[in-house]
């Protein structure tokens, strides 16, 4: 076993300096990142009405990986299927996108941010 300083070698040990190769986050990714997203106060809320593409659903939860669980509903407001999607692909639904049988009053919609 040899210990530093190495006696008798006559040479300093080689030092390797590792410069981390930093790749900047691609702009398109940075723009879409949930971490960069500005979110309104109180968002997201479990139980809120959300929009995924052209479908309306109810947010059931968001995991630490920013994966949202959403129950898509039909035009009666009844369950269709669970989906697991990136949270940043969702937006809060507007009142007219909520199924009629479960649509809140205008006053309640305004308080909860469902008005256009």
Q: In what order do the strands lie in the sheet with 49-52?
A: 79-86, 67-73, 55-62, 49-52, 90-92
Place of tokens 């994966």: 67
Q: Is the dihedral of CA 25, 29, 35, 36 positive or negative?
A: positive
| Of 30, 39, 111, 115, the one binding another protein by CB under 8 A | 111
d(CA 89, CA 44): 12
For residues 44 to 83, the per-residue mask of contacts with another protein, x marking binding by CB under 8 A and - elsewhere, is -xxxxx--------x-xx---------x-x---xxx----
Q: Taking the complex as a whole, how short is the minimal distance between the CB of residue 68 and another protein, in angstroms?
A: 13
Of the candidate spans 2-10, 19-27, 29-37, 108-116, the one that interacts with another protein by CB under 8 A turns out to be 108-116
Structure tokens at 105: 């009053």
Q: Which is nearer to another protein, 34 or 71 (CB)?
A: 71
Positions that interact with another protein (CB under 8 A): 45-49, 58, 60-61, 71, 73, 77-79, 98, 102-104, 108-109, 111-112, 114
């Amino acid at each position: 076993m040899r210990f530093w300083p190495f006696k008798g070698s006559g040479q300093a040990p080689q030092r390797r300096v590792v410069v981390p190769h930093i790749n900047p986050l691609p702009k398109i990714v940075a723009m879409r990142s949930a971490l960069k997203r500005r979110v309104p106060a109180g968002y997201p809320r479990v139980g809120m009405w959300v929009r995924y593409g052209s479908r309306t659903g109810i947010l059931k939860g968001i995991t630490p990986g920013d994966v949202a669980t959403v129950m898509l509903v039909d035009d009666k407001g009844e369950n269709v299927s669970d989906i697991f999607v990136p949270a940043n692909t969702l937006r809060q639904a507007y009142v007219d996108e909520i199924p009629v049988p479960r649509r809140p009053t205008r006053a309640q919609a305004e308080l909860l941010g469902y008005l256009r």
